[in-house]
Each structure stands twice: as structure tokens, then as C-alpha cells.
Structure 1
Amino acid sequence: MLPLERQTRIIELMDVHETLLTQELAEKVGVSEATIRRDLQGMAEQGLLARTHGGAVRLQRSLTQEPAFAAKSVRMPSEKLAIADYVASQVKDGSTLIFDAGTTILAVAQRLAGRPLTAITLDLPAAQVLAVGETEVLLLGGRVRSNSFSITGPWTEELLRGLRADLFLMGAHAVDERGVSNAVIEEAMVKRLAIEASAKTLLLADHSKFGWRAMTQVCALDRVSEVVSDRKSRKFGWLRDAGLEVTLV
């Protein structure tokens, strides 16, 4: 098993158990305790978890801080790919799409790259991936945020006010009964304007994003046209009660 595969498996286990001993992780991952210790040390340095005596503990979610891009990129890879495959199958050629920032949205960009679309991006990695073949890419100007590569600020907001799109592919830091929320105020503002500029908004989020709340409100649930997530969550009854279309992949 490659190091990235091991670390992805460790994160999945930590999401379920929160705290695990090195011996338990070694047994569940199928490698030696020495290998797990090296993985845990590297993951702790990246901010993916915290080391404890004899094991590791999942970091508590923060209302005001978001994980760095490197940390998010190894979380829920199979779930993000399943979401991306579904969304790509639903997008029509010739559409104009706004791409939010984030690793789930990046997975969608990888699936759509090269198709005859107009892609308006709020994310540097997505712009790089999309700029091939027949895809026309418009990268909105603004401040590039360190460690996340999202684009925010007054320039971005002004450009969004003058745009119209068929679809906004939106990510989220958290989702609960009160709506979609985000840890970064500047990103929340950009998301609101992208919603206003788009005929439809798809919320794309794996199961770990549901049932809790971040610091800054983005929008109420009634501003979302459809929620696309994975099948591992059992927390979607309240979304359907709110009248939302929910697609699990």
C-alpha cells in the first residue's frame, strides 16, 4: 500500500473512531506499527491529526479555521470521485458554469476538462485543470488565499456582480438545518454572489460536512437547487424535509 493510500485509510478510520492506538491502526491498515508511527508523525506535521501517547486523535472541527488544501486533498477521495462522476454526467455541453474553490469541486473540474463549456473559476487549481481542449476558462481576478488557492476580495466580487451562469458548483465547510456555512468570511461573500449570478446552485459535499456549523452563514437551504453527496451518511432526512432534492452517489 502506497503512503498516500495508507494516510487516506487512517483519516477514514479517524473520522469514525476519533481516537485510535497505534496497534489498532496497524491492524486495521495492515502494516507494521513502525510504518504507522511514521505516517502519524508526517500527518501530524501537516495538521491532519494530533499525536497522543501510543496513538492519535482526530482534530476537532473549527468554526473559524479551514483545513489547508493539502489536508483536504487526502480526505474522502472515493466519495469526491463519485460525486464528480455524477455531476459530470449531468452537465450539458455549451453550459456556463461557476466553479467554487475546494477539492470536491476540483474533482469535478478534472472530469469536465476539455469539454465544450465556459468555466468561470474561483480556484487556481481548477483553472489549471480545466484549461484544455474546448473548455473556455475565465479566471476571476482577486486575492489568492494562501494554502487554499481560492480567489476572493473586492475585485472578485465586482466581476461576479456582472456575470450570469447556468450553474454554480458550490462546496461547503459545513451544512446544517440553518443552511450552508463557511469558516472564511471572504469566501462566504463570494459564494453568495455566485449563487445570485447562477440559474441553479448544486451543493457538492461529502458526508463529513453535514450536521454541523461553521462561523459564517453562506445561504439558507432554499437557495440550493440540489445536494449531491455520498451514500455513507444517514443525516439527510432533514434536507429532504426542507424540500431539497438530494442525490446520493
Structure 2
Amino acid sequence: MTTESVQEGPGVFPEERRERLMRLVNQHRRLATDELAHMLGASLATVRRDTRALEREGKIRRTHGGVMSVGTAVEDAPDEEPLFSEKRRANLEEKKRIAAVAAELVPDYSTVIIDSGTTALALAQRLAGRPLMLITMDLKVAEAAARGPTEVWLLGGRVRNGLFSLVGAWADGMLRGIHADIFFLSADAIDAEAVTNSTVDEAELKKVALARAKKRVAIADHTKFNHRKLVSVCTLDAIDVLVTDEPARALVAPYESRFAQILYA
């Protein structure tokens, strides 16, 4: 998926913009509304009007927080990023077990960066109420962690609609000024070569977080292994600890020696 944008001038007609929108949706099969707005150089309100009009004409399908090409189902688009509501329902018990093991790696009074995503959310729920400074680029993670003595800092930036993560120059700038004890990295995919992500903006922010933490912990369930997404985040030897679920053991076996430590939940 690309974050390339086309700045829309005052002379662009709605028909021209909608034609370009349709081409993008057909090319990528699935896009979040905010990503479409960025690509088109148009406002979110304009893109929403256009997608409603195109759906009425039967040319695209609207979903919660995004759009899909006609005839594309979620399972038919494995290289595209599912929305938060879809991710949250998947492998919930595995994510809870991973979160329980990951939480044991965090001493009280630590400064912790938690990535975006539903496994990260499960971890935030586990850490909530402990005496920690917790920094995140995810609205849902921040909401879950803001309990009792847990001090939560939410990075600024552009919200990815339907996903609730924050990206962009503001988030990047804030993160570069932070010194953290531990960063919990969520992964869209992991294979023998690298941890990869679906979007450029999120991948770049993850790279900054990796550089700002003393300890780097990847959290991922078994469905994330032996796949590759668009953008490389880091090589496997950049990870200090991988926390995953028991079904991942056989999947990771061919390259488990590339990780410094693996904990199975």
C-alpha cells in the first residue's frame, strides 16, 4: 500500500476525483478512508461524500472506516490491513495469554512504549493500574491503560480511521524525545528475514520507537508468522524478546535461532 498523495487543486471536478478514487480502490482492493483522503489530497468529508455516491452507484463497497472494491471480501484481501473491529475478534484468547507473559517483563516504575494494535491493547489492559509511565500511539491502548497510578502519554498525529493508531510528523517528533526502558512492538507479519508492516507511516514510527528503547519486545500470535507485508520494520536480530503463543512454535522453528529469546504463552 502506498502513502503517495496527489494534491487536489480547485479545478478538480468531482467526477474526476471519483474516477481516481475508484482506480485506487480497485488497485488496492481495500483502503481506510483516511488513507484515501491522503492519497487524493482531499478532505475526509469530501472522500466520505464521494464514497457514499459511488456505493449508491454500486461501484464500491463501504465498510466501517474504509472502502473495498466490489466483489472483494475480507478473506480475499490477505495483503491489506484489517480494521480494528475485525482484528479485535481474532485469536482473542491467544492475545490475552501473550499479554500475560509480556506483562511479566515490565518492572514497576518503568517507562514503557506500547505499539498500536489489538495484541498491544490486551497488554495495556494487563498493565493498567500499575505504577508505570506508558507511552502509546494508539487511542484504544491509551484509554485502556489510563487507570490508577498508570501515567499515560498519547502521541499526537493523524488518526487512522477505523484503526485508531496515530501516525505522522507530530507523533514522530514526540517519540524522538523519549527515552524508554522497553518497547512492545506489534507486527503485521514476521518471516525468516524481518518484521514487516502494512503501511509506511506506521512502519516508520515503529522504527523510531525501536531506537528509543533499551529493550525491544515483539508481541505476535501464530497467525502473523511466515507472511510478509509491504514495509520492513526491522530484522529479527533487532528484537531482544519475542513473545508469541504455543501454536507458533512449529512455525518459528526454522529460524528461531535468529531471535535472542522466545517466550511461548
Q: Structure 2 length normalisation: TM-score?
A: 0.71
- State how far apart, in whole Å, the 2-side matches of 1:121 and 1:238 are: 32
- Deviation, 1:58, is 7.5
Pair 1:178 & 2:196 matched:
no
Moved over 3 A (4+): 60-63
Query: In the alignment, which residue of structure 1 is the partner of 2:163?
Result: 148
- Deviation, 1:87, is 1.3
Q: Secondary structure at the match of 2:247?
A: coil
Give identity over the alignment, percent.
Answer: 40
Q: Structure 1 length normalisation: TM-score?
A: 0.75
Give the letter for the 1:159 counterpart. M
Q: Secondary structure at the match of 1:141?
A: coil
Which of 57, 74, 87 is the equivalent residue of 2:102? 87
- Deviation, 1:100, is 0.3
- State how far apart, in whole Å, the 1-side matches of 2:133 and 2:116 are: 16
Write the mapping of 1:202-217 to structure 2, written as runs, cut at 5 A.
202-217=217-232
Deviations 1:214-238 (A, max 9, x none): 0011111111111100001211123
Which of 71, 88, 93 is the equivalent residue of 1:73? 88
Conserved 8 A contact 2:185-2:218: yes
Distance 1:138 1:72, change over 3 A: same
Pair 1:239 & 2:255 matched:
yes
Q: Secondary structure at the match of 2:246?
A: coil
Conserved 8 A contact 1:79-1:206: yes
Query: In the alignment, which residue of structure 2 is the partner of 1:219?
Result: 234
Conserved 8 A contact 1:172-1:203: yes
Distance 1:116 1:76, change over 3 A: same
- Deviation, 1:239, is 3.4
Give the letter for the 2:135 counterpart. I
Conserved 8 A contact 1:239-1:246: no
Query: In the alignment, which residue of structure 1 is the partner of 2:215?
Result: 200
Query: In the alignment, which residue of structure 2 is the partner of 1:164?
Result: 179
Deviations 1:201-223 (A, max 9, x none): 11000000000100011111111
Q: Secondary structure at the match of 1:97?
A: strand
Pair 1:59 & 2:75 matched:
yes
Query: In the alignment, which residue of structure 2 is the partner of 1:6?
Result: none
- Deviation, 1:144, is 0.8
Query: In the alignment, which residue of structure 1 is the partner of 2:141?
Result: 126
Distance 1:243 1:203, change over 3 A: closer
Deviations 1:160-208 (A, max 9, x none): 1111100001101000111100001100000000000000111000000
Conserved 8 A contact 1:99-1:120: yes
- State how far apart, in whole Å, the 2-side matches of 1:96 and 1:165 are: 5
Query: In the alignment, which residue of structure 2 is the partner of 1:100?
Result: 115
Residue-pair matches, total: 196
Unaligned runs of 5+ in 2: 1-62
- State how far apart, in whole Å, the 2-side matches of 1:159 and 1:116 are: 22
Give the letter for the 2:263 counterpart. T
Pair 1:136 & 2:136 matched:
no
- Deviation, 1:243, is 4.1
